[in-house]
Chains A and B, each alone.
Chain A
Amino acid sequence: MRTLAADTLILGARSVVRSRRNPATVVSAFIFPLLFFALFFIVMRRVMAAQGFDYAQLLPPTIVAQAMLFAGMSSAYYVAADRLSGLTARLRSMPMHRAAPILGRAVGDLVRSFISLVPISVVGVIVGMRFDNALGVVGFALVALAFGLVASLGMGLIGYVASSPDDAVSIASMPYLPLLMLSTGFAPVKNFPGWLQPFVEWQPVTAVIDLLRAFTGEGDVGSTLPVAAAWLSGFGLLFAALGARAFKKAS
């Protein structure tokens, strides 16, 4: 058990150091989410306000979800890079706990998610997002990180099959756009074409955004929590199991 903890920490620290030194990861963790935030806020705020949809309060949780999906894309990149450089196989031959590489990666993913969560939340509070109490802040952060972890586990799977790290990112970016845009993140369900509304209402990213908003006083935690928890735990377990299998095969 002690080796597991120690090895996980070492590999987690490596993952963090590595992403800190990669300008592309820094850009996608800080600059892109803030840029999207500013742009959607400037461009769409008035139009959406006419719909009774207040971006100052409602957009920050959306951008948090987007940043978590970006963290997932970084994970796809690093999984592919480690596999193709032979590191994944090399770790297997070393005297370390066999679960450490997977857990170490999860630690790295969580740290990356946390680091990009903080500036967006701060900007969100500056433009007008409000938390009811300290519990709201904690719940908001936990749900965001849980989503970041599930997104990283899921998109990380792509890293096991892609032919290059850049390919992994392009494949991972395909589900990202429809999942994020066709959610309640940018417009209410009623604004979507009728045939699309059931998808928009029930898909996982909507569930996460609605729960994040509930922690900022927009909506009810009691009714949004079960849906989000079911999606997150279901996909989390599925992706973790698939990831463990893919890792075994790759090493």
Chain B
Amino acid sequence: MSAGVRSLVRHGPVFAERAFKRFIRSPSNVVSTAGFPLLLLLTLLAVFSHAVEGVEDGPYAQRLVPMLVVSGLMFGSVSTAVGFFTDLSQGYMERIRTMPVSAAGPLLGAVLGEIGRAAMALAVLVAVGHGFEFRFDNGIGPAIGFFLVAMLASVSIVWIGLAMAAVARSQEALGPPLGALFLLLLFLSRGMVPVDAYPGWAQPIVRFNPATAYVTAMDRLARGGELVTPILGSLAWSAGIIAAFGWIAVRSVRRPR
């Protein structure tokens, strides 16, 4: 093991703790991870469950809970991205570089901190969803798989924001575009309605979307159904996202701007 990797292993937990405290102590962060998705779950159920239950079997909450877990991860990760931008722009990273720790520590911490975010989104949405007939019909193993896919999504999605933070010139040029991107990914996923309810031209976009992969895998783990395609799809999207955006983000901590 090189010195850098050894330091990363030793100091990783410290940075993860910092990231987690940053998350838990910021009310707006908790709101965007759990509060807003919860509000969205309740309102979408009230507005659309009658209509969607008219075109497919099963309670609407079964479809919505996975999608809102992913939405909490996405919109919550915007704050992580903004936090990393502050680290880069306000001298925190320079300070870290003068210390005998790995410069990749803050990145690793941010990514591990996302697991805490996933746990919070899952706990709140699964518990409240239960009241609206969201169930794990498929047994305990797939239920654990459901949680694991959410964790996988959380440590993958965050890299999109970290990479954008590394190249953004201002905080204003980071938050809104990132939010708009996530909004597009979520709406154009199969999270709210079945794929065949989309217009024909939009269906390929809906199928080729990381949010669809994660949401489908979670939905089928809870409800049952063919699993190989969505799970391989989730793994492939995660590998692609981490490789592409991770490369950009890691480059930024290696090379001071």
Residues of A within 8 A of B (CB): 23-24, 27, 31-32, 35, 39-40, 42-48, 50-51, 53, 170, 177-178, 181-182, 186-187, 191-193, 196
Contact = CB atoms under 8 A, between A and B. Distances in A.
Contacts of B43: 177-178, 181-182
Given A24-B176, A42-B199, A43-B193, 5 more contacts: A23-B173, A27-B176, A35-B183, A181-B44, A182-B43
A187 B54 contact: no
Contacts of A178: 39, 43
A116 B10 CA distance: 53
Contacts, number: 82
Interface of B: 28, 31, 39-40, 43-44, 46-48, 50-52, 54-55, 172-173, 176, 180, 183-184, 187-188, 192-193, 197-199, 202
Contacts of A192: 46-47, 50
Contacts of A170: 28, 31
* Top 3 closest pairs, chain A to chain B, by CB: A39-B187, A191-B50, A181-B43
| B48, B184, B202 — most chain A CB neighbours (10 Å) | B48
13 contacts: A23-B172, A24-B172, A24-B176, A31-B180, A40-B187, A47-B54, A47-B193, A50-B51, A50-B55, A53-B51, A181-B43, A181-B44, A192-B46
A181 B49 CA distance: 13
A42 B51 contact: no
Contacts of B46: 181-182, 192-193, 196
B27 to A, nearest CB: 9
B180 A35 contact: yes
Given A39-B188, A178-B39, A182-B46, A48 B51 contact: yes
Interface of B, helix, strand, loop or mixed by DSSP:
helix
A51 B48 CA distance: 11
B47 A42 contact: no
Contacts of B55: 46-47, 50
B51, B180, B192, B198 pick with most chain A CB within 10 angstroms: B51
A120 to B, nearest CB: 17
A192 to B, nearest CB: 6
A186 B199 contact: no
A9 B184 CA distance: 39
Contacts of A40: 187
B184 A44 contact: no
Contacts of A31: 180
Contacts of B202: 42
A47 B172 contact: no
A191 B51 contact: yes
B193 A23 contact: no
Given A39-B183, A42-B199, A177-B39, A47 B51 contact: yes
A43 B192 contact: yes
A39 B189 CA distance: 11
Given A39-B183, A177-B39, A187 B50 contact: yes
B188 A191 contact: no
A118 to B, nearest CB: 21
A8 to B, nearest CB: 30
B39 A39 contact: no
A42 B54 contact: no
Contacts of A193: 46
A155 B180 CA distance: 23
Nearest to A190: B50
Contact of B198 (A43, A50, A53): A43
A23 B184 CA distance: 20
A39 B184 contact: yes
A24 B28 CA distance: 18
A186 B197 CA distance: 16
Contact of B197 (A23, A47, A182): A47
